[in-house]
Amino acid sequence: MSQQFDVIVIGGGPGGYIAAIRAAQLGFKVAAIDEWKNSKGGPAPGGTCTNVGCIPSKALLQSSEHFEHASLHFADHGISVKGLEMDVAKMIARKDTVVKQNNDGILYLFKKNKVTFFHGRGSFVKAADGQYEIAVAGDKPETLQGKHIIVATGSNARALPGAAFDEKLILSNDGALQVNDVPKKLGVIGAGVIGLEMGSVWRRLGAEVTILEGLPTFLGAADEAVAKEAHKLFTKQGLKIEMGVKIGDIKTAKKGVTVAYTNAKGEAQELAVDKLIVSIGRVPNTIGLNTEAVGLQLDERGAIVVDADCKTNLPNVWAVGDVVRGPMLAHKAEEEGVAVAERIAGQHGHVDFDTIPWVIYTSPEIAWVGKTEQALKAEGRAYKAGSFPFLANGRARALGDTNGFVKFLADATTDEILGVHIIGPYASELISEAVVAMNFKASAEDIARICHAHPSLSEATKEAALAVDKRTLNF
Ligand code: FAD
Ligand code: NAI
């Protein structure tokens, strides 16, 4: 006998588990299926984000930042550290504990919200009588029937042709989070978000890191001023970043990896490293979902085709997160999950794609929301810009972290905020004020007139808003 549900969610990452909880809150009988296994073969819901993405990478970024502070910055505070050592295995074990706490937290939330969890791979069997039949292949095979299906099967790392991930020498994000010794030389292909974050972790711990990037422009999606500042600071920290390369053969031997490439001048080069991280983007994942059984439409990239409301070509089948169009970000997946659950309940769930924040958790952190200056120029939109450096912010000076700035872009006539770009301490936290402001269609003047606590980094945000009208008070 198959079990009957109102909503079946396939995939337990941020898109899926949040959709399942919201649907249960709205009174539906919900099943959540996720196949991720922990090291003991047990369930590990939370998807890429919890297991091999957002959470473990931030754990390692934190540990490596502490190490760098102790080795480089404590002395400025009068703290001397003798015999400083890094126990990489312990750092990795701590990261694994943080991951497990999150996995357990999600299992607890499923229980609390009465979501029935199935550990295994979910796949479409057939559609009949307004119901979908979903098979769960796991330790305990099951067949489920559901009226609404939410697919949230995420994405996988993209490999370079001829250089499959072995997770020992050629690493995806998975292997990059499991390295147990600091490599002497680390190569990274792709100067995107993963390349910069993971490159920073291992550089801080002592690796000589070289990043090879195909495009001629560094961080092309970021505001040009931020990208320029970031490139300057990362290079100063010791990251070697080569732009405009063309990757050739990648060869592995017992001891390491050799990457043949052509540099921006067209010269043949070779990079020999102990380990190589390949972070050149991710591909939507529908492996094993058996989409053919029901005729679920995919695009040429393998993403599930959805409309603006996350509806697929099939009635009552929805898809959210990395497996559909749009930025591959955990918070975007979550927002889509909530909106879909609410739409199933006949409500008007909404995701504002124009105000999804981006954060890169390097040091300094980089965060932005809205349009970049180069995008506004390309659109021919009249705008005003204002910036404020953290060097002129008292709290940043007290922290000893004065790199970077906050930059506001506002409409030339209405003063509506069009974009906010931050490079500097806690940019990941500071950006929320800008996201809120943009959602309320605030003007730069609104932020400039709001009282911000002193001394705080957020005063740099207020000052950047004042700078739009050329009236900063502290610079
Ligand atoms: P996923 O998290 O990929 O979850 C999909 C789940 O579905 C997985 O558990 C998978 O096992 C399961 N699954 C797949 N197929 C089936 C099936 N047929 N049956 C059952 N289960 C199935 N984003 C941020 O916003 N901030 C960050 O700081 C950040 N850091 C990142 C760092 C790294 C190294 C990486 C790789 C990614 C990072 N991301 C970050 C991106 C973020 O992880 C993804 O955008 C997010 O996980 C997408 O969520 P999702 O629910 O769509 O898919
Ligand atoms: P990415 O898209 O951020 O960067 C990939 C980089 O590789 C690009 O700069 C691209 O030009 C380059 N590239 C592509 N093919 C290449 C080739 N053949 N040779 C050389 N360079 C090449 O992708 P990344 O870093 O793999 O991360 C995947 C996604 O995961 C991100 O886009 C993001 O959505 C998510 N993520 C988010 C994080 C965050 O929010 N802080 C952290 C890490 C990942």
| CA dist., res. 237 & res. 258, Å (int) | 24
Task: Tell me which residues have their CB closer than 6 angstroms to ligand 1.
Answer: 10-16, 33-36, 47-49, 53-54, 57, 121-123, 152-155, 173, 194, 285, 288-289, 321-323, 328-331, 333
Tell me which amino acid residue 419 is: G
| CA dist., res. 310 & res. 340, Å (int) | 7
| CA dist., res. 202 & res. 67, Å (int) | 11
Place of tokens 């069997």: 125
Q: List the pLDDT tens digit at each of the 475 positions of the chain.
A: 789 999 999 999 999 999 999 999 999 999 999 999 999 999 999 999 999 999 999 999 999 999 999 999 999 999 999 999 999 999 999 999 999 999 999 999 999 999 999 999 999 999 999 999 999 999 889 999 999 999 999 999 999 999 999 999 999 999 999 999 999 999 999 999 999 999 999 999 999 999 999 999 999 999 999 999 999 999 999 999 999 999 999 999 988 999 999 999 999 999 999 999 999 999 999 999 999 999 999 999 999 999 999 999 999 999 999 999 999 999 999 999 999 999 999 999 999 999 999 999 999 999 999 999 999 999 999 999 999 999 999 999 999 999 999 999 999 999 999 999 999 999 999 999 999 999 999 999 999 999 999 999 999 999 999 999 999 999 9
pLDDT reported for residue 418 = 98
| CA dist., res. 97 & res. 257, Å (int) | 31
Domains and CATH numbers, the chain: 3-157+283-351 (3.50.50.60), 170-280 (3.50.50.60), 355-468 (3.30.390.30)
pLDDT reported for residue 462 = 98
- Closest C-alpha to 351, from 293, 400, 308: 308
Question: Of ligand 2's atoms, which has the minimum distance to the CA of residue 191?
Answer: 9
Q: Which residues contact 328 (CB under 8 A, 6 or more apart)?
A: 155, 282, 322
- Sign of the Cα pseudo-torsion (445, 449, 453, 454, in order): positive
pLDDT reported for residue 277 = 98
Query: Is there a binding annotation on residue 281?
Result: yes
Annotation says 454 is catalytic: yes
Check if the beta carbon of residue 88 is closer than 8 Å to that of residue 180.
yes
Burial class (CB in 10 A: 0-12, 13-18, 19+), 270: exposed
Q: Is the peptide bond before 455 cis (omega within 30 degrees of 0)?
A: yes
Give the distance (Å) from ligand 1 centre to CA of residue 126: 26
pLDDT reported for residue 339 = 98
Q: How many CA atoms lie within 13 A of 303 on its CB side?
A: 16
Give the distance (Å) from ligand 1 centre to CA of residue 132: 24
Check if the beta carbon of residue 374 is closer than 8 Å to that of residue 421.
no
Please indicate whether residue 193, judged by its CB atom, sits closer than 6 Å to ligand 2.
yes
Mode of pairing for the β-strands spanning 3-10 and 30-34: parallel
Angle at 347 between CA 343 and CA 350, to 5 degrees: 70
pTM for the model stands at 0.98
3-state secondary structure of 432: helix
- Sign of the Cα pseudo-torsion (286, 291, 297, 299, in order): positive
Give the distance (Å) from ligand 2 centre to CA of residue 78: 39
| CA dist., res. 292 & res. 147, Å (int) | 19
Question: Residue 405's beta-bridge partner residues?
Answer: 389, 423
| CA dist., res. 242 & res. 183, Å (int) | 20
Question: Residue 366's beta-bridge partner residues?
Answer: 360, 423
Check if the beta carbon of residue 313 is closer than 8 Å to that of residue 295.
yes
Q: Which two tokens stand for residue 73?
A: 């910055």
| CA dist., res. 278 & res. 257, Å (int) | 12
Query: Is there a binding annotation on residue 31?
Result: no
pLDDT reported for residue 236 = 97
Question: Residue 31's beta-bridge partner residues?
Answer: 8, 116
Burial class (CB in 10 A: 0-12, 13-18, 19+), 182: middle
| Shortest-distance Cα residue to atom 12 of ligand 1 | 11
Burial class (CB in 10 A: 0-12, 13-18, 19+), 85: exposed
- Closest C-alpha to 332, from 294, 295, 369: 369
Write the DSSP symbol of residue 72.
I
Query: Is there a binding annotation on residue 417?
Result: no
Write the DSSP symbol of residue 55.
H
pLDDT reported for residue 255 = 87
Question: Of ligand 2's atoms, which has the minimum distance to the CA of residue 219?
Answer: 9
Give the distance (Å) from ligand 2 centre to CA of residue 19: 26
Calculate the alpha carbon distances from 437 to 36, 352, 431, 447 in Å: 38, 13, 10, 8
Check if the beta carbon of residue 203 is closer than 8 Å to that of residue 238.
yes
Question: Of ligand 1's atoms, which has the minimum distance to the CA of residue 47?
Answer: 9
Helices (H), 205-318: 224-237
| Shortest-distance Cα residue to atom 9 of ligand 1 | 47
Give the distance (Å) from ligand 1 centre to CA of residue 323: 9
Compute and round to an integer the Cα radius of gyration of the chain.
Answer: 24
Please indicate whether residue 351, judged by its CB atom, sits closer than 6 Å to ligand 2.
no
| CA dist., res. 233 & res. 177, Å (int) | 24
pLDDT reported for residue 33 = 98
Q: Which two tokens stand for residue 474?
A: 């502290």
pLDDT reported for residue 139 = 83
